[in-house]
Amino acid sequence: MPLEIPSNPADLLNRRENIKSELNTFRNNVSENFTPAEAEKINAALDFMLKIHLPQEDRVDSRPFASHPLAVAEEVIKLSNDPELVIAALIHDGVEEQCDYIFAERVNRKYPDRKFSYLEMTEALKEKYKSIFKAWSFKEIKGKFGRKLRPEDSL
């Protein structure tokens, strides 16, 4: 069962519409600056980012939260041709902000027969299990998008 995040479909459509121009620009920049294989991986990260961030409440400036990681990724494209940096920019807030959603997706994939779906939790319960959610979220992201080794990692 895929990740299910409780949300109002009208809110999701409205938020997506509010960043439509940025999404189109980003997708064009990706197709112009990366190979088809790299673009496919970046677009998978974009879809993942939208899935977990579009349901979030809007930012203080009334922009959808998803506009922030999208803008960061756009800046990274201007500075680097490394697709993994672009992916990192897209998902950089995922573990911090939406680790319980990412955790639910990992559980769904690991135990498909149990049909686990995201359950709303109190903030106190989320806080209690946040370290577990974060650890599993990092594993989920690494499994989906990989992790480029830095020179110091090989020591």
The predicted model gives 83-106 an average pLDDT of: 79
Tokens coding 53: 């961030």
* CATH architecture assignment, domain 9-147: Orthogonal Bundle (1.10)
> Residue 74's pLDDT band (boundaries 50, 70, 90)?
very high
In this prediction, residue 115 has a pLDDT band, given cuts at 50, 70 and 90, of: low
Dist. CA 111–CA 113, nearest whole Å: 6
The span from the CA of 103 to the CA of 47, in Å, is 17
Is pLDDT above 90 for 145?
no
pLDDT band at 7 (very low <50, low <70, confident <90, very high): low
Tokens describing residue 119:
């359950």
pTM for the full predicted model: 0.74
Averaged pLDDT score across all residues of the chain: 79
